[in-house]
Amino acid sequence: MQLKSWLLILLLLQQVASVELDIDDEDSICEAAKQVVNGELNYYEGTKKGGTIGMFSNPYYWWHAGEAFGGLVDYYTYCDSDNKTLEKLIYDGMYNQAGDHFDYIPSNQSMTEGNDDQGVWGMAVLEAVEKNFTDPKDHSWLEMTQAIYNTMNARWDTKHCNGGIRWQIFTWNSGYNYKNSIANGCLFNIAARLARYTDNKTYAKMAEKIWNWMEDVGFATYVKDELVVYDGAKISNNCSDVTKSRWSYTYGIFLSGCAYMYNYTNDHTWLDRVNEIIKSSDYFFKDGYMYEHTCGGGSKCNNDQRSFRSLFARCLGLTSMLAPSTKDTIDQWLQKSAQGAAKSCSGGSDGVTCGTDWSKGSWDNNFGLGEQMSALEAMMSLLVKPPLTADTGGTSKSNVNAGTDTEDKKNKNELKVSSKDKAGAGVLTAIVLLSVSGGAIWMLF
């Protein structure tokens, strides 16, 4: 046969391939998810020669890995829990990034890690806690989450804007003078989950305090009848100049945090908030399909934004379990979105690469770790089960004092930065910028 005919056949084969999904059939969901996971793991460095365990390839950051592992724990639990290779991959990846003090502040991420990044890892580790994922012997997943909680909590700052934590941990990272919903939302979510899992009211009080501050500062506020959650504000002018963009993952994190609080306290105030956020989450759906409204979906969204729906989907699923009255509404969203996501997973040379626009019915030429993670979590949310607690079969061991005996408990904003460190930071920034643009150039090809 001539080369041309071969190429034609190849082209046809490629168009036939796509991820098939029957939302009523668990096996079909897991089969579809397996292909999405395979695509996701193409970006994983930990199994490649010379790669760092727990990290994904350039241009993906440390925090993306945190997002990814949460979804992988779900996939392992719901679809592939006999797979020892996968179990080890997840275990090693999460454990290796815990850092010297087992609080997810690895010293070599100080150029990139903000409170939201530590928090996203915290929510991944909590997936492991609530799904009884194989615990490390020396430091349980629960203990590590408590260390994350304690170190983040220690950064609560009443000097500016009457409370809240900043976006950044380290003074030299840009955004240090910004307080935002996502960082505080992560702490809120973690606090609510620790309260429910360990049945300790101290965590619930903190969640309450964060929510009240969010309203006080106007990051969570009513516009007409709608409860909206805005991005954040600089601490200058007492956080009064609020940046009004809205992001799906922020909504998801507050939504499910409220659902955990409702489930734990049985207090209808929390259920009201759940219902309010569900109503305003409408903003993140177009024709019934999830989409990242603020950046317009698709290629206009950057690498971070293209991954937000992964957390949004995961949080919607959890909410439907914890506040069962929301299940019908959420199921409709998740089912349509997962079906759309599966249809978008028909691109690339493997024919199963996922895209961004889930309403298109086919691949939209976008690809990346964010696309894979978002499609995966939309599918996994269809299989969601109630998260465990210490009373319902969770066995991860508690250590309420974890993280309180290290330097990390101090506000990094109060640590003195020597000029030597600053110079080092500048060089590192240059390297990061270079490698990011290197990555962007690669994306063009």
Ligand X SMILES: *[C@@H]1O[C@H](CO)[C@@H](O)[C@H](O)[C@H]1NC(C)=O
Question: Residue numbers of the site for ligand X (CB under 6 A)?
Answer: 37, 41, 52, 55, 83, 85-86, 89, 96-97, 99, 106, 108, 132, 161-162, 200, 202, 216-217, 238-239, 263, 266, 321-324, 386, 393, 395, 400
- Least distance from C-beta 216 to ligand X, angstroms? 5
Cα 255 from Cα 274, distance rounded (Å)? 6
Asked if residues 270 and 30 have their Cβ atoms less than 8 Å apart, the reply is no
- Closer to ligand X by Cβ: residue 335 or 398: 398
- Closer to ligand X by Cβ: residue 301 or 318: 318
- Least distance from C-beta 47 to ligand X, angstroms? 8
Cα 49 from Cα 58, distance rounded (Å)? 15
- Closer to ligand X by Cβ: residue 203 or 284: 203
- Least distance from C-beta 432 to ligand X, angstroms? 12
H/E element holding 39?
helix 26-41
- Least distance from C-beta 385 to ligand X, angstroms? 8
- Which residues does 93 contact at the CB level (< 8 Å), separation at least 6? 44, 46, 53, 54, 65, 69, 72
- Least distance from C-beta 199 to ligand X, angstroms? 9
- Least distance from C-beta 271 to ligand X, angstroms? 8
Residue nearest to ligand X (CB): 393
- Closer to ligand X by Cβ: residue 61 or 367: 61
- Closer to ligand X by Cβ: residue 162 or 174: 162
Q: How many CB atoms lie within 10 A of CB 434?
A: 10
CA-wise closest residue to 73 among 51, 95, 47, 101: 95
- Closer to ligand X by Cβ: residue 15 or 238: 238
- Which residues does 217 contact at the CB level (< 8 Å), separation at least 6? 161, 162, 163, 164, 179, 233, 239
CA count, 13 A, side-chain hemisphere, 174: 2
Per the structure block, which two tokens stand in for 230? 């805005």
- Closer to ligand X by Cβ: residue 123 or 318: 318
Vertex 127 angle, CA 333 and 84, to 5°: 110
Asked if residues 150 and 411 have their Cβ atoms less than 8 Å apart, the reply is no
- Least distance from C-beta 228 to ligand X, angstroms? 16
- Closer to ligand X by Cβ: residue 190 or 301: 190
Q: How many CB atoms lie within 10 A of CB 237?
A: 9
Vertex 57 angle, CA 53 and 63, to 5°: 75
Cα 76 from Cα 107, distance rounded (Å)? 29
- Least distance from C-beta 117 to ligand X, angstroms? 14
- Least distance from C-beta 132 to ligand X, angstroms? 4
- Closer to ligand X by Cβ: residue 294 or 404: 404
- Closer to ligand X by Cβ: residue 197 or 308: 197
- Closer to ligand X by Cβ: residue 154 or 415: 154
Cα 314 from Cα 300, distance rounded (Å)? 23
N- to C-terminal Cα distance for the chain?
30
Asked if residues 340 and 349 have their Cβ atoms less than 8 Å apart, the reply is no
* Adjacent-strand bridge partners of 44: 56
- Least distance from C-beta 378 to ligand X, angstroms? 19
- Specify burial of residue 58 (Cβ count, 10 A radius: 0-12, 13-18, 19+): middle
- Least distance from C-beta 430 to ligand X, angstroms? 17
Cα 297 from Cα 86, distance rounded (Å)? 31
- Which residues does 142 contact at the CB level (< 8 Å), separation at least 6? 129, 197, 198, 394, 396, 397, 398, 399
- Least distance from C-beta 287 to ligand X, angstroms? 30
Per the structure block, which two tokens stand in for 254? 């507050």
CA-wise closest residue to 380 among 87, 32, 20, 38: 32
Q: Dihedral, CA atoms, 349, 354, 355, 359, nearest 10 degrees?
A: 130
- Closer to ligand X by Cβ: residue 216 or 350: 216
